[in-house]
Amino acid sequence: MRAIWKGGNRFELLPEGKRFWPAMRAAIEGAREQLWIELYLMESGALAERFVQTLEAAVARGVAVRMMLDGVGSMGLARRDRQRLRAAGVELRFFNPLSVTRLGGNLMRDHRKLVVVDGEVAFTGGFGIVDEFVDAWYEVAVRVEGPVVHDWMRLFAQVWDSPLTRGGRSRARLSPHLPPAPQEVVGEGARGRVISGRGHRYQAIRLSLHGRISTARQRLWLCTPYFVPTLSLRRQLAQAARRGIDVRLLLAGGHHDHPGIRYAGQRFYGRLLKAGVQIYEFQPNFIHAKFCVVDDWVSLGSCNFDHWSLQWNLEANQEIEDSAFAAEVAQLFQRNFAASQRIDAASWRRRPWWQRVREWAFGTLNAWMTRLK
């Protein structure tokens, strides 16, 4: 799907679960006609129980609910919860379930996160229906109103209609039956576009980020939980810092769901620090958010900007061009920088030998896995 900039949108930044979960739940509870939900992670637990109950109530009042989960990310969703959803009337489908007949094909995953309510309001970010997202992980989402909501629906319909998506009683295609695009939000003029990626075949997210980095004038702040960047991204970050751009990385600290990935990424710290890139490791808990701000441009969504996201996954981000929204995101960065440990270049050079061994070991493993692509 071609990414087109559209004006007349309203975007609301929703940092942390205590803000985006109530906002999303209120929107779902107010749905009148339809709910479209696309997620990577969903596991049975307290949050999933509340979410299933909310969807059951929506169907009971006449809302048509379509839910699409990744075949791997949803493996923790118990059979009883799947049966409850279907028994309630939710049309449930799974993207690319594991198959022993096409091992390489199992690598492609639907990593997108999307909730669309009545074709009028959309939510996206890095969230999932897993208990850790309630208070153990730091996450960020955005609420969207305006013409770009239609583009989110088109993206959902493409995957829903895909041959890789299985399950559901009806195989009627959604793409030809999309409703008209929502009207521009009165009194608002924020520009936005939906940018998506489909592994190595369509890397619009990567190209968009690289283009913004190359034209940055003042700041380039990026938050990603899994910092294993491509060579081209590392070079661009270093080059931007050398030409005087304020380049900062907000990365996961000691709280991490995959510590090996953190060690693999740390092997790049030295050269980036030498180039002038500032690196912060978030301390309070695991920061799972994926967002960045370059001058007055913001990108927020599912993409981790790492090898795996860019080479294998279906990803999608909301891009926004608006000085006020960018300033709000910058303030969020500043608060998170204050809660982080800044990595000092001199101290990093003196790190202990066991830290270097971990970087080498996990970095070698990551490089080996990368070459398999």
Q: Helices marked H in the chain — which ranges?
A: 17-29, 46-60, 79-88, 132-135, 148-160, 204-215, 231-242, 259-266, 269-275, 307-311, 323-338, 345-349, 353-371
In this structure, the answer to whether residues 249 and 117 fall within a common structural domain is no
**Rounded distance, CA 349 to CA 122, Å?**
45
Whether 1 is covered by a domain: the verdict is no
pLDDT band of residue 324 (cuts 50, 70, 90) is very high
Higher model confidence: residue 372 or residue 121?
121
Tokens describing residue 27: 């929107």
Alpha helices in 30-143, H assignment, sequence order: 46-60, 79-88, 132-135
Which of these three, 193, 223, 246, is where a domain ends?
A: 193
pLDDT level of residue 235 (50, 70, 90 thresholds): very high
Mean pLDDT over all residues of the chain? Answer: 91
Number of domains making up the chain: 2
The top-scoring range by mean pLDDT among 2-6, 240-244, 364-368 is 240-244
CATH value at residue 238: 3.30.870.10
Same domain, 101 and 175: yes
293-202-145 Cα angle (round to 5):
50
Q: Which neighbouring-strand residues pair with 125?
A: 141
Residues 246 and 165 in one domain: no
Over range 112-120, report the average pLDDT: 97
- Kindly state the average pLDDT of the residues 223-252: 95
Going by pLDDT thresholds of 50, 70 and 90, the confidence category of residue 167 is: confident
Instruction: Kindly state the average pLDDT of the residues 105-127.
Output: 93
Please check whether residues 170 and 228 belong to one and the same domain: no
pLDDT in tens, 63-103: 999 999 999 999 999 999 999 999 999 999 999 988 777 76
Query: Both 185 and 75 in a single domain?
Result: yes
User: Of 193, 213, 246, which one is at a domain's C-terminal end?
Assistant: 193
Residue 104 has a pLDDT of: 65
Per-residue pLDDT, 275:
97
Of 352, 4, 336, nearest in space to 151 by CA: 4
Average pLDDT score over residue span 194-221:
89
* Mean local confidence (pLDDT), 203-228: 94
Q: What is the reported pLDDT for 200?
A: 63
> Does 144 share its domain with 284?
no
Q: What is the mean pLDDT of residues 271-300?
A: 97
Instruction: Show the domain range for 165.
Output: 6-193
Least confident of 62-76, 136-150, 305-319, 327-341: 305-319
Give the pLDDT confidence score for residue 94 in this predicted structure: 96
Q: End of a domain among 147, 163, 193?
A: 193
Place of tokens 């003042």: 218
Q: What is the pLDDT of residue 373?
A: 46
User: 369: pLDDT confidence band, cut at 50, 70 and 90?
Assistant: low
Domain annotation covers residue 363: yes
Average pLDDT value for residue range 292-307:
92
Give percent above pLDDT 70 in the chain.
92
Confidence of residue 357 (pLDDT cuts 50, 70, 90): very high
Region of residue 212 (phi > 0: left; psi between -120 and 50: alpha; otherwise: beta):
alpha
Q: Cα 63 to the chain's mean position, in Å?
A: 26
Alpha-carbon span 136 to 237, nearest angstrom: 30
H-run or E-run covering 125: strand 121-125
